[in-house]
Structures are given as C-alpha cells and as structure tokens.
Amino acid sequence: MEKVVFGALLGATIGFGAGYMGSRAGGACPIMCNPYVASIFGAVIGVLLAGGVGAKAPAYTPSEHLVKVKTGEEFQQSVLDAKGPVLVDFSSAGCRYCRKLEPVVHSVADRYAGRVTVVYVSVADVPELGRQYGISAYPTLILFNNGRQWADPVVGYQDEAALAAFLDRHVPAAEVPGPEGPAGAEGS
C-alpha cells in the first residue's frame, strides 16, 4: 500500500511540475498546460506504475515436500494414484496472486508433511489438466483423496491460516502414536 501511495505522490509532483512548466511555455495541451490537471494525471500514472511494477514473490525457503508436476503422467502418479489426501495448486507463471501464494504453499507442504501431499502444477506446462478440471482462474487449489476430488476448489489467494483451516476441515488428523502404540491398539 505504501508503494501505491508513494507512486501517487511522486506522479502528482512530477505532473504538477510538468504542468507548471507547460503553462509557462504557453502550450495548448489541456493536460500538460494546467498544473492541477497534470498533477491528477501524474498521480494516476504513478498509481498504475507502482501497483504493477515489482510484483515479485516474497522471499521464502522452498519446501522439499512440495511435488512439482510437469506432465500428465506425473500428475497421474503423484495425485490420482496417491493414497491419502493431495492438495494440488494449479497456477500460472504470469499470475501475481500465484506468486503471492507460492510461499504459503511451500510452508503448508512442510507443515502438513506426512499428512497431506502438496503438488504444484503450472497449467502452462500441462494445459490439458487445466481444461480437464475446469480451471478458469488462478490460483486454484483442489483437494484430492485417493484419486478423487475431495472438496470444492478454492480459487484465489489464501493466506496460510485460511489454507490450514481448509485442510483441517477436510483432512482427518494424523494419528500420533503414544507410548502404548496407536490409539485403540491393545498392549501385549
């Protein structure tokens, strides 16, 4: 947000200066010969530039638990043939919300390791999967369980808390063995 405000202020200042100089030069341009109109024009341009420039993914540590799928065969093995829950992130390289979601997906892959397999699919690499699953917006997250779609897709950016809540609602808690073994096991 600060970047957008700074862009608006900088654009307005530059626009005002250009408009002032234009009015002194006796030009006929309705935008650049009026410092006030030029400052509004500059502010709009500054906001547009500040909002679109530098939309990079935040720094994060890549997860060793995240599976990247680049072919239909890999998708078959990693998702459809998998035993247990698999969260698939269908993304596009040019999507800024996908880049924003990337560190969240890596963190969730680490957090749910052993409980949920997290798979990343670039729809540019495997466009037939995008068509097959009706992906029309990015990012789209689909939860599979034992090869079948398990829950409604989640579309758009999700912060880690929202994604964790989604998984906690749909994925049973991992059974943690106590000193006597798994729950319900009889001692010897």
Give the count of domains, the chain. Answer: 2
89 close to 119: Cβ distance less than 8 angstroms: yes
DSSP structure class, residue 127: H
- CA torsion through residues 58, 59, 63, 67, sign: positive
Position 95 in a domain? yes
CA distances (Å), origin 22, targets 14, 40, 134: 12, 15, 53
121 close to 129: Cβ distance less than 8 angstroms: yes
Q: What is the pLDDT of residue 184?
A: 37
Q: What is the pLDDT of residue 117?
A: 97
Q: Is the pTM of this model over 0.85?
A: no
pLDDT band at 135; cut points 50, 70, 90: very high
Position 178 in a domain? no
Extract the tokens encoding 183.
């729950």
Phi-psi category of 9—alpha, beta or left, where left has phi over 0 and alpha has psi -120 to 50?
Answer: alpha
Are 85 and 140 found together in one domain?
yes
Are 45 and 93 found together in one domain?
no
Give the separation between CA 15 and CA 179, rounded to whole angstroms. 71
Position 58 in a domain? no
Are 46 and 78 found together in one domain?
no
- Residues 6+ away with beta carbon under 8 Å from 56: 99
- Kindly name the residue from 4, 45, 82, 95 that is annotated as catalytic: 95
Position 10 in a domain? yes
Position 136 in a domain? yes
If you average pLDDT over every residue of the chain, what do you get?
83
Are 76 and 162 found together in one domain?
yes
Residue type present at position 79: V
Residue type present at position 122: S
Instruction: Considering only residues 170 and 172, tell me which one the structure prediction assigns the higher pLDDT.
Output: 170
Position 164 in a domain? yes
- Kindly name the residue from 12, 32, 98, 141 that is annotated as catalytic: 98
Are 43 and 94 found together in one domain?
no
Are 96 and 165 found together in one domain?
yes
Q: Residue 101 sits in which domain range?
A: 66-170
| Catalytic-residue membership of 95 | yes
Are 43 and 115 found together in one domain?
no
Mean pLDDT over 171-185 rounds to 48
Mean pLDDT over 8-29 rounds to 72
| Catalytic-residue membership of 98 | yes
Position 106 in a domain? yes
